[in-house]
A and B are shown apart, each in its own frame.
Chain A
Amino acid sequence: MQTRLTEDELAVQDAFRTFFANESPSTVVREAERTGGFSTELWAGLATIGGTGMALPGAVGGGDATLCDLAVVADVYGAHLAPVPLIEHAVAARLLATIGGHDELVGELANGTPLATIALRPPVDGIARFVPAGAVADVVLAHVGDGIVLDRSAPSGETLPNTGGLALAHRRLTDDVISVDHAAWNHALDEWRGLTAAAYVGLGRRVIEMGVEYSRERVQFGVPIGTFQALQQGYADASTRIEGAHLLAHRAVWALETRQPDASRLAGMALLFAAEAARFATDRSMQYHGGYGFSEEYDVQLYHRRATAWILQLGDPSLEYARLADGEFGPAVDGRMA
């Protein structure tokens, strides 16, 4: 047992922290939002430092890093709201590597071009709706009833205007099934859940940190607002939930990596808990920024909108609870027990 980061993981964290702090300041996030939710320069930079292929097999040009390492990066990425599909690309490429037979493409994906994503929800009538990074992805993996499809049609570049400033787009997909490994698909979705949970932790920690910094500077009634216990209690609650989410997200990712029997259950739980914790944290931080937090100028609103948006890409969270309930208590069919 080692619940804290290892030396190696800390080194990974350090490297990516520096990268995202330099390359993804809020000016970049804001600029990307104006241009469809994606930063070409940031993606290129990420590819240069090996961030696009780090958790792919070395044999095809990847960095052989673990999913746990990737979770550490996802956390830092979340903290900076980096406008690139780091998680979706990694999950799609890893899935393709698992399926096998696409070594050349996986090798290219390791270098960041083409850019890949996964459709989190099954296509209906050949159209996958609200595909993360769908506006810019050159490769889309999706799950249709029969199996996994690989689509290489060109992205439109047109983003659906959305709450989170994400590069969402609907995509018309091929129906050429490349694999019937449904378990591999489910595992990929669980990787997305676990990694997104880790990103939510980074987002939540950062939004609390920003709020605490602001509470030192802002003076009301002659004292810094951080001396008010109401703020302290709210931030302490938020921080406790975020640290709880951190431990759960990491346990889930470790469980996926080591193929524990409860891995899928933990990944689903981690996403729901981390999303809610981060949304609570952004709510508190916005509240304790007062009116300025609501203004466009302050970054807390960027965090607030992304905290809302990330999980909704998957659908209504209550459907995720329902899915976990089916696994736990047996399926409810038409509201009745099967």
Chain B
Amino acid sequence: MDFSFPPEAEAFRSEVRDFLATNLTEEMIEATHDGTMHIPALHRAMAERGWLSGPVPAALGGGGRSALESVILNEEMQLARAPIDAMGVTVIVAAILLEHGDDHLKQHVVPRLLDGSSLACFGYSEPEFGSDVAAAKTRAERDGDEWLINGAKMWTTMAHIADYVLLLTRTDPDVPKHKGLSFFLVPLNTPGIEIQPVPTMAIERSNATFYDDVRLGDEWRVGDVNGGWSVMKTALKYERGIAGGQFLSPPVIDAAVDWAQNHTRPDGTKPIEDPTVREKLIRALIDVEVCRGFAYHCADLANQGVMFGVEGSMTKLFASESYKRHCRDFHDMMGAEGLLTHESADAHLGGRIEENLRHSPVTTIYGGTSEINRNVVAEGHLGMPRAR
């Protein structure tokens, strides 16, 4: 065992830190309060440095940075509270296109995704199918040389600012569900697409998207006809293992320590003097180290070309469940004052803990619910029978 980082990875970490210190401002983070978790200027600055193409294998035309460096980039961005949602999805879509797409997509779309000029979003979930995503029924039918797409997607987050949606469709309704799926990369300005906002209980918004006789050439197909499930596996591998979400807690813990050290309780003591608060803080810091272990482990596996389905699920499960717990613990610690939102000038550190508290429930739902990830661990790691 060896948990040291190669010198170039350490150097990359300081480069990222310096970059974020100069390029990420409080105003930029504040601007995400409009519900769109994306900072265009930061995204472009990162693209200029070649960091978007970093995680994409060099053999596929990407930057060929090691998976360790990708995880470092993710870690540092999350510690600095930079939103990574749109960036993460765009990079994953680029990697998927490079792995499964044809020349048209590789030559015309991938460069735009990686140079920061275009964004992509995921269109898997539907009003009726979320966890059972392989049951998706948005239809794609051949019409001469073209495809005709009809259906509805739910939770197409970022669709309102993205240029493309990676769309999961049904191309054969008469075979078992996993065998009749195909993916398309759909330009969102194609006629027949409608995007409606879906507000959430947190700051972020999502979208419902509708597809009415959307016409598409075959060059927009990703992977084989009816081979959609293998594309989906690539997508989930990237999403759960190394795409982010492992370091949501540190900014919350920082805020909690700040509160605990500076707030004075009615009895004149500070929360940091309270052994129960101290224990909760240490427990949270331990969880963060566990997340680090998982994140570095997945990256190490990826570097060695090992498929990490189960490890990705464990990472996602542990990181999101512990993050939710941390938000609750530290929001509780603040009592009534923790209720103030970012709209209040009196909110502690711009209402950071409250904002995270409201965001946290979704992290155990999207990207595969905790229950689904536990199923993956039970079946894939423990060899227990399929329960559904």
Q: Which residues of A contact B (CB under 8 A)?
A: 1-6, 9, 68, 208, 212, 215, 224, 226-229, 231-233, 235-237, 239-241, 243-245, 247-248, 250-251, 253-255, 258, 266, 269, 272-273, 318, 321-322, 324-325, 328-329, 332, 335-337
B-chain residues with CB within 8 Å of residue A3 when the two chains form the complex = 1, 3, 293, 296-297, 300-301
Q: Is the CB of A1 within 8 A of B275?
A: no
Taking A266-B289, A322-B279 as contacts, is the C-beta distance between A329 and B381 under 8 angstroms? no
Taking A1-B296, A212-B382, A337-B272 as contacts, is the C-beta distance between A232 and B387 under 8 angstroms? yes
Q: Is the CB of B371 within 8 A of A233?
A: yes
Q: Is the CB of B384 within 8 A of A325?
A: no
Q: Is the CB of A269 within 8 A of B289?
A: yes
Q: Is the CB of A332 within 8 A of B289?
A: no
Q: Is the CB of A329 within 8 A of B385?
A: no
- C-alpha gap A227/B385 in the complex (Å): 6
Closest to A229 in B: B387
- C-alpha gap A61/B229 in the complex (Å): 58
- Determine whether B104 belongs to the interface, using a CB cutoff of 8 Å to chain A: no
- C-alpha gap A321/B287 in the complex (Å): 13
Q: Is the CB of B2 within 8 A of A1?
A: yes
Task: Give a binary string over B259-274; 1 marks a CB under 8 Å from any A CB, 0 the rest.
Answer: 0110000000110110
Q: Is the CB of B289 within 8 A of A248?
A: yes
Q: Is the CB of B3 within 8 A of A255?
A: yes
* CB contact between B278 and one of A239, A240, A254, A322 (< 8 Å): that residue: A322
Q: Is the CB of A329 within 8 A of B294?
A: no
- C-alpha gap A247/B297 in the complex (Å): 8
B361 nearest CB across to chain A (Å): 18
Q: Is the CB of B68 within 8 A of A325?
A: no
Taking A3-B296, A321-B282, A329-B278 as contacts, is the C-beta distance between A240 and B270 under 8 angstroms? no
Taking A329-B281, A335-B273 as contacts, is the C-beta distance between A1 and B300 under 8 angstroms? yes
- Determine whether B179 belongs to the interface, using a CB cutoff of 8 Å to chain A: no
Q: Is the CB of B381 within 8 A of A248?
A: no
A-chain residues with CB within 8 Å of residue B281 when the two chains form the complex = 325, 328-329
Q: Give the 8 A-B residue pairs with the shortest CB-CB distance, closest first.
A: A247-B293, A236-B374, A232-B378, A325-B278, A236-B377, A244-B290, A321-B279, A2-B2
Q: Is the CB of B375 within 8 A of A329?
A: no
- Determine whether B335 belongs to the interface, using a CB cutoff of 8 Å to chain A: no
- C-alpha gap A231/B378 in the complex (Å): 9
* CB contact between B300 and one of A2, A227, A231, A244 (< 8 Å): that residue: A2
B87 nearest CB across to chain A (Å): 24
- C-alpha gap A245/B314 in the complex (Å): 12
Taking A227-B385, A329-B257 as contacts, is the C-beta distance between A1 and B4 under 8 angstroms? yes
- C-alpha gap A215/B378 in the complex (Å): 12
Closest to A334 in B: B273
B-chain residues with CB within 8 Å of residue A208 when the two chains form the complex = 382
- C-alpha gap A28/B240 in the complex (Å): 43
B-chain residues with CB within 8 Å of residue A240 when the two chains form the complex = 314, 317-318, 374, 377
Closest to B381 in A: A239
Residue of A215, A226, A254, A329 contacting most chain B CB atoms (<10 Å)? A329
Interface residues of B in 288-346 (CB under 8 A from A): 289-290, 292-294, 296-297, 299-301, 303, 311, 314, 317-318
- C-alpha gap A318/B279 in the complex (Å): 7
Taking A226-B385, A236-B374, A269-B286 as contacts, is the C-beta distance between A250 and B1 under 8 angstroms? yes
Task: Give a binary string over B344-388; 1 marks a CB under 8 Å from any A CB, 0 the rest.
Answer: 000000000000000000000000000101111111011111011
Closest to B5 in A: A1
- Determine whether B285 belongs to the interface, using a CB cutoff of 8 Å to chain A: yes
Q: Is the CB of B383 within 8 A of A212?
A: yes
Closest to B290 in A: A244
Taking A6-B1, A240-B317, A244-B318 as contacts, is the C-beta distance between A233 and B279 under 8 angstroms? no
Q: Is the CB of B377 within 8 A of A337?
A: no
Taking A240-B318, A332-B275 as contacts, is the C-beta distance between A258 and B4 under 8 angstroms? yes
* CB contact between A1 and one of B6, B278, B379 (< 8 Å): that residue: B6
Q: Is the CB of A321 within 8 A of B297?
A: no
Q: Is the CB of A248 within 8 A of B290?
A: yes
Residue of B300, B375, B385 contacting most chain A CB atoms (<10 Å)? B385
Taking A1-B3, A240-B318 as contacts, is the C-beta distance between A247 and B294 under 8 angstroms? yes
- Determine whether B112 belongs to the interface, using a CB cutoff of 8 Å to chain A: no
Taking A236-B374, A245-B290, A329-B257 as contacts, is the C-beta distance between A254 and B1 under 8 angstroms? yes
B-chain residues with CB within 8 Å of residue A231 when the two chains form the complex = 384
- C-alpha gap A69/B241 in the complex (Å): 28
Residue of A5, A226, A258 contacting most chain B CB atoms (<10 Å)? A226
Closest to B277 in A: A325
- C-alpha gap A274/B68 in the complex (Å): 25
Closest to A231 in B: B384
Residue of A3, A5, A255, A335 contacting most chain B CB atoms (<10 Å)? A3
- C-alpha gap A208/B382 in the complex (Å): 9
Taking A68-B1, A239-B381 as contacts, is the C-beta distance between A329 and B272 under 8 angstroms? yes
Closest to B275 in A: A322
B91 nearest CB across to chain A (Å): 22
- Determine whether B283 belongs to the interface, using a CB cutoff of 8 Å to chain A: yes
* CB contact between A332 and one of B3, B6, B273 (< 8 Å): that residue: B273
- C-alpha gap A143/B260 in the complex (Å): 34
B-chain residues with CB within 8 Å of residue A244 when the two chains form the complex = 290, 293-294, 314, 318
A-chain residues with CB within 8 Å of residue B296 when the two chains form the complex = 1, 3, 247
A66 nearest CB across to chain B (Å): 9
Closest to B306 in A: A4
Closest to B291 in A: A244
Residue of A240, A250, A253 contacting most chain B CB atoms (<10 Å)? A240
Closest to B319 in A: A244
Q: Is the CB of B1 within 8 A of A272?
A: no
- C-alpha gap A251/B293 in the complex (Å): 8
B-chain residues with CB within 8 Å of residue A272 when the two chains form the complex = 282, 286
- C-alpha gap A332/B286 in the complex (Å): 20
- C-alpha gap A322/B318 in the complex (Å): 24
- C-alpha gap A332/B384 in the complex (Å): 47
Some 9 contacts from A to B, beta carbons below 8 A apart, are A1-B300, A236-B377, A237-B317, A243-B311, A247-B296, A251-B289, A273-B289, A329-B272, A329-B281
Q: Is the CB of B383 within 8 A of A9?
A: no
B-chain residues with CB within 8 Å of residue A5 when the two chains form the complex = 1
B-chain residues with CB within 8 Å of residue A273 when the two chains form the complex = 286, 289-290
Closest to A255 in B: B3
A-chain residues with CB within 8 Å of residue B273 when the two chains form the complex = 332, 335-337
B323 nearest CB across to chain A (Å): 14
